[in-house]
Amino acid sequence: MNIESTKNRFGIIGNSKILERSINIALEVAKTDISVFVAGESGTGKENIPKIIHNNSNRKHNSYIAVNCGAIPEGTIDSELFGHEKGSFTGAHDNRKGYFEVANKGTIFLDEVAELPLSTQVRLLRVLENGEFMKVGSSSAINTDVRVIAATNVDMNKAIKDGKFREDLYYRLNTINIYIPPLRERTKDISLLFKKFAADFAEKYNTESIILEESALETLKKYRWPGNIRQLKNFVAQLSVIAKNRLIKQETINEYLPQETKKNQPILFDTTSKSQLSEREILYKVLFDMKNDLNELKKITFDLINKNNNPNIKEDFFNDDKFTLLTKLNESEKKEIVEIEETFSLANQEKNLIKKSLEKHSGKRKLAAKELGISERTLYRKIKEFDL
């Protein structure tokens, strides 16, 4: 199978040289049984590469199982992957086969592999080295012949340095590395993708397809697209519903295209820091940033009062925790009282951040976890902890 027929079969849109090189590597490596590591940002379509490899390999008539490692709770992931014996833990009423046993002679795709607990990484390393594993609660080894393809959007060198991922496992998985470029590195494909998504939406809902003006297309090409192809597809669907005019102009793009600002990031921390921040440290930084913002607001308010030569308000009227600003209305003797109070409860702030993010994304944990900068497993634990 050549590159063009592969793109057609798996619905891959684009003529980027980087993308086509990645597809070509996948086709070549499919003839072997070696492990493959797929790297790239979220939303770039990494899930297509394992399917291409499996369907062009000698294993194509056997099982293909895709596992989202970040979506399985830490307490059950060993059971999911390797199975368990009856009575091995509370709730284990029967023997259960894991994915590695079910996929014997086939392929397993481990998405978000960086989310695996260290104990599970040790088990996975044994499978890759010896082709054997043990079920939870069992002392007998089981042999399996499974090809493993892994993917992540995490900086693996940093994960290894921070002690979150085993270096020996990474090099065992990373025999062949396939990189999927982000949308900003293949801007010439944006026009093709936009037309495809617009046509699909119009066909599905029996409407007229939207089209782009040249200036609107140039605006899309200059945008960074942090969510990559997934974000572009959702944006096209949004325009298809909202835009009254089927010809999309630059003004419409500017109105609906999300702006990349710090305000869109609920948890702020320096991602270039040499040491990984804990969740609690991140929350402390958020709170201190809030305190600094409030102090700045106090200063601005006092400067405005001084500018208006109001002798009734003194600077020491403002304290660290609470201040009350009294202002006279020009047309009456009534007084408006504005009270701002700071609350520095870590638990409450953490709970409120999680609650607001879940509400924003209609309860979708994966989107909320991504926005909060934590794993889906950690978010699941926090939801249970705060009884949300």
For the ranges 80-94, 127-141, 166-180, 283-297, which has the lowest average pLDDT? 283-297
For the ranges 72-76, 220-224, 325-329, which has the lowest average pLDDT? 325-329
| Confidence bin at 292 (pLDDT 50/70/90) | low
Q: Which two tokens stand for residue 308?
A: 């208006």
Residues in contact with 362: Cβ distance below 8 Å, sequence separation at least 6, in sequence order: none
Per-residue confidence (pLDDT) for residue 169, from 0 to 100: 97
3-class DSSP assignment, residue 66: strand
CATH no., domain 184-260: 1.10.8.60
Q: Is the Cα torsion angle 269, 272, 273, 279 positive or negative in sign?
A: positive
Per-residue confidence (pLDDT) for residue 374, from 0 to 100: 82
Per DSSP, what are the bridge partners of residue 66? 109
Indicate the pTM of the whole model.
0.66
For tokens 């820091």, name the residue.
273
Sequential DSSP letters for 334-382: -EEEEEEE----HHHHHHHHHHHHHHHTTT-HHHHHHHHTS-HHHHHHH
Distance CA 357, CA 376 (A): 13
Distance CA 124, CA 118 (A): 10
Q: H or E segment at 68?
A: strand 64-68
Per-residue confidence (pLDDT) for residue 297, from 0 to 100: 63
| Confidence bin at 359 (pLDDT 50/70/90) | confident
| Confidence bin at 283 (pLDDT 50/70/90) | low
How many CB atoms within 10 Å of residue 3? 17
Q: H or E segment at 327?
A: strand 322-328
User: For the chain, what are the domain ranges?
Assistant: 3-181, 184-260, 280-341
Distance CA 89, CA 75 (A): 10
| Confidence bin at 318 (pLDDT 50/70/90) | very low
Section 192-196 average pLDDT: 97
Name the amino acid, one letter, at 243.
A
Per DSSP, what are the bridge partners of residue 335? 328
Domain formed by 3-181, architecture: 3-Layer(aba) Sandwich (3.40)
Per-residue confidence (pLDDT) for residue 332, from 0 to 100: 43
Please check whether the two domains, 3-181 and 184-260, share a CATH topology. Answer: no
| Confidence bin at 105 (pLDDT 50/70/90) | very high
Assess whether pLDDT exceeds 60 at residue 333.
no
Sequential DSSP letters for 191-236: HHHHHHHHHHHHHHHT-PPPEE-HHHHHHHHHS--TTHHHHHHHHH
